[in-house]
Structure 1
């Protein structure tokens, strides 16, 4: 059946011309757009693999170095596992950040190239992106500062989830770290969120070792020689107790007289323990000292009472 009567000769020629133009565009710009998309996807996959391989290599190198150090220093196995977990967490976080940044850059370049193929003048778009980026950089200085500080903290392994830290603004156990903020759960259960850029100093109480410190205020009626003998027996007892072998790194030490006044004198016990275990050791030492002093008839000093104002 002949349908030529539906279109005039001019309309038919116009339709054929439009179809030819569309097919020509598909064969040129369309193919280039498809190629841009394919290259962007392949490049993202390759960069993701390379970035992951880089950080895995970095983590494996750290693990090998730790194994060599352990052979020389004989570090505790639990400490080695904690260090390995920290390295894995740090490598995963940094890898995800690098992949996201690379993906954003690749996607932005691909979109600009596709718009250029469609026929859009991309020069104003590029200029606008530059101005917008400058404005965003000026307005987001605080965020950028937080992100850079977060990368440095993770890369240098300053803190990790589970560490007990003092961030000056908050003290407690680290429950979450990301590139912008660090969250700390304090002893009373409050969840503190501190911006990484605001962290000036960090006291990490979960690295290397901790010191269990027990300060004793003793009545000045007690004989110092007897006190020394009793504290020595307490230290020997906890050092010989097998239940504390994994926590105690060195035998606790007893100080001499630290201070004296009319009602008391002070002594101190210090024990080097596994990181984060000082509170348990301090509690046991106080209990042992209380029982030993009670058996020996040694009294603690009465608490100081503030004198009423005249």
Structure 2
């Protein structure tokens, strides 16, 4: 195999050297005639060699082969490359070029006969009359499908979409509404196309008159071709909308939309028709040289028509190049003016080069066809789409790094330093875009050259890596923007409606109670961002040819080492994960954990930030939380005591408290915060001096403070209106009558009793405060 490869590479080089130097006669005259050696003599000579002689002979042959390989590497590119084959077109000694060109020239007179032979295969009896009749039958079934389509439109479509025209059309549509409106506008045409395809196919299958596979294949080819052309026309109208600018998605004017619509439709229809009939002719047995001539003729006609359009519209395109809005300056630069003056010459030269490359591939049947001609022909639309993606990536990167923003939100006067920074950012953006677009043009040219098997040793591989990187980054950024926007929307939805909550309305602090989405989604966004950056980095390294297997293995080892060395960190992360999974607490909830109380202000991977109701921020690792008491789940039962004199009417007080509770439940400010109404629980205890009645209600967490204050106020006012007052603390000192008692003895005893009573009341108040906390 190695000797054959060396011979294949060296043969064209030897032929060129012989032709240039004219050494054929000299070589044949100066060198002795080769001796003829039979197979028997070769076998006899080899059999007579010793082991040492055979080993030396084998080593010498291997050394010759190695020296030939080194010589071949020094000679430069492969002689089978497109550049060498392009030069060989002018070389009369090139076997491939000469044979391919000769085949095409010999096939020219036979084109008519070959096409006629292929056409007659539409008839099972191989007659022209029968083939023509079958062709007419195929057209008849297609016409039947059109009639069914028209009947469907007249009987069904007009009735279904009769009310669409009566809708009020707005003056402007933007965003997704424009796409939805375009789809709605073209929906009847999609239905018509579906009825046409199904009707033609069903009628043909139901009334088919022949078992010829060629006729069936020809009918399906024509049906699919017409369906695809009409579908492309509908999709093009959706985006360009040449008749109505209201539904136009592409940002162009009506004149350019009409020209673009017609040009795209004609070009797509022509290319698709040529490809479809080429497939049909190949299935019908058309010879390979005639088929190559068919494609060469149609490609030549396409390039010629394109060249004529370039010459016809050269002034309009030049004006559009000069007058198009530029992000790099307000007026057209010198380079843009020069390019506008010679753009048509460059385009025509590109078409000529494209035809030469196509002819070079057609004369070589062994050359692989990877769609190089069509991709090269549509290089301008490919460049436009790639340029838009590149601009979007650069703008997104600049905005993310806060280097340059398209729009600035100015809340007040802008300082000179901000203006200078913005101008500097704009200059950086302009330079970055210039370098990026220049690199994009070079990469597209290298990519097009690679399609034609013209490889530049370093840059060809580099262009593939850059294209893969751009695609990976584009997909990653689109996915990240979608996820980030969705998370932001869900976070906004989880925020409470009332954002103007006063600090004095909540003894637990001013933090609003957040939903579970507000707690989990920010951490989910960080996790997704980390995973996305890691995957993008690994994918880009893999596309560059880097073996990421050792990197993944090393990352696993490092992760295992970190896991063993930082057990506390791992315990904190896993504890936090399971706390969040169990929905133990959320941002804004008041909890007690590990002897620490406070409102959850923020949750990170390792810690939870608790804001104490007196203002201190407490940072607690997840593994130190322990059992958690969440005061914000369910309702809080609030009980408080009211002291009355011994002779107070208990039933009257109970009715007054009940009426106050009913009034508070009907109040718009408090009714949504009640879970159970305010009511009296009767007499709780009777002490030495007062009768204590307990009041109870159940409210939502955080709102119970406000309800309790309002209940105190309303109950007090209602009792005062009925002439009922709270009990005053009394100290009754019973002093036995003793002879010689004085006022000093009485005052001393009363003071001691009062002090004891005050001490007892302070102790009870401290215990009650501890229970409430």
* Range of TM-score over shorter length: 0.5 to 0.7
Structure 2 CA distance for aligned equivalents of residues 105 and 288 of structure 1 = 62
- CA distance 1:293–1:245, change in 2 (3 Å): same
TM-score, structure 2 as length reference: 0.29
Q: In the TM superposition, what are the counterparts of 1:1-310 in structure 2 within 5 Å?
A: 23-28=456-461, 30-31=462-463, 33-34=465-466, 37-38=469-470, 40-42=472-474, 44-45=476-477, 47-48=479-480, 86-90=515-519, 92-110=521-539, 113=542, 117=546, 125-154=551-580, 157-216=583-642, 218=643, 222=646, 226-241=649-664, 242=667, 244-258=670-684, 266-289=692-715, 295-299=723-727, 305=759
- CA distance 1:274–1:300, change in 2 (3 Å): farther
Cα shift at 1:277: 0.8
Q: Larger % of strand: which?
A: 1
Query: Where does the alignment leave 5 or more consecutive residues of structure 1 unmatched?
Result: 1-16, 64-76
Asked if 2 retains the 8 angstrom alpha-carbon contact of 1:164 and 1:174, the reply is yes
Structure 2 CA distance for aligned equivalents of residues 184 and 228 of structure 1 = 46
1:236-285 CA distances to partner (integer Å, 9 max, x unpaired)?
Answer: 22421435434334321322444566566654221122331111122233
Residue 72 of structure 1 corresponds to: none
Structure 1 CA distance for aligned equivalents of residues 719 and 542 of structure 2 = 82
Cα shift at 1:56: 9.4
Cα shift at 1:293: 6.8
Between Structure 1 and Structure 2, whose CA radius of gyration is higher? 2
Structure 1 CA distance for aligned equivalents of residues 597 and 717 of structure 2 = 32
Asked if 2 retains the 8 angstrom alpha-carbon contact of 1:212 and 1:278, the reply is yes
Cα shift at 1:299: 1.8
Query: Where does the alignment leave 5 or more consecutive residues of structure 2 unmatched?
Result: 1-73, 78-454, 499-511, 731-756, 761-773
Structure 2 CA distance for aligned equivalents of residues 248 and 262 of structure 1 = 35
1:122-151 CA distances to partner (integer Å, 9 max, x unpaired)?
Answer: 676555433222112223333333334444
1:50-73 CA distances to partner (integer Å, 9 max, x unpaired)?
Answer: 75699799x6xx99xxxxxxxxxx
Structure 1 CA distance for aligned equivalents of residues 685 and 594 of structure 2 = 30
Structure 2 CA distance for aligned equivalents of residues 162 and 124 of structure 1 = 45
Asked if 2 retains the 8 angstrom alpha-carbon contact of 1:165 and 1:173, the reply is yes
Is 272-281 or 233-242 further displaced after alignment? 233-242
Asked if 1 retains the 8 angstrom alpha-carbon contact of 2:654 and 2:679, the reply is no
SS of equivalent residue, structure 1 residue 214: strand
Structure 2 CA distance for aligned equivalents of residues 187 and 142 of structure 1 = 29
Structure 1 CA distance for aligned equivalents of residues 615 and 728 of structure 2 = 33
Q: Larger % of helix: which?
A: 2
Asked if 1 retains the 8 angstrom alpha-carbon contact of 2:656 and 2:719, the reply is no
Structure 2 CA distance for aligned equivalents of residues 155 and 43 of structure 1 = 30
SS of equivalent residue, structure 1 residue 48: helix
Residue 12 of structure 1 corresponds to: none
Structure 2 CA distance for aligned equivalents of residues 188 and 200 of structure 1 = 23
- CA distance 1:270–1:49, change in 2 (3 Å): same
Asked if 2 retains the 8 angstrom alpha-carbon contact of 1:90 and 1:155, the reply is no
SS of equivalent residue, structure 2 residue 674: coil
Asked if 2 retains the 8 angstrom alpha-carbon contact of 1:186 and 1:192, the reply is yes
- Structure of higher RCO (CA pairs closer than 8 Å, 6+ residues apart): 1
Structure 1 CA distance for aligned equivalents of residues 565 and 655 of structure 2 = 62
1:65-108 CA distances to partner (integer Å, 9 max, x unpaired)?
Answer: xxxxxxxxxxxx98xxxx99625424632441332232243145
- CA distance 1:137–1:167, change in 2 (3 Å): same
Asked if 2 retains the 8 angstrom alpha-carbon contact of 1:51 and 1:98, the reply is no
Structure 2 CA distance for aligned equivalents of residues 146 and 154 of structure 1 = 12
- CA distance 1:263–1:143, change in 2 (3 Å): farther
Asked if 2 retains the 8 angstrom alpha-carbon contact of 1:183 and 1:192, the reply is yes
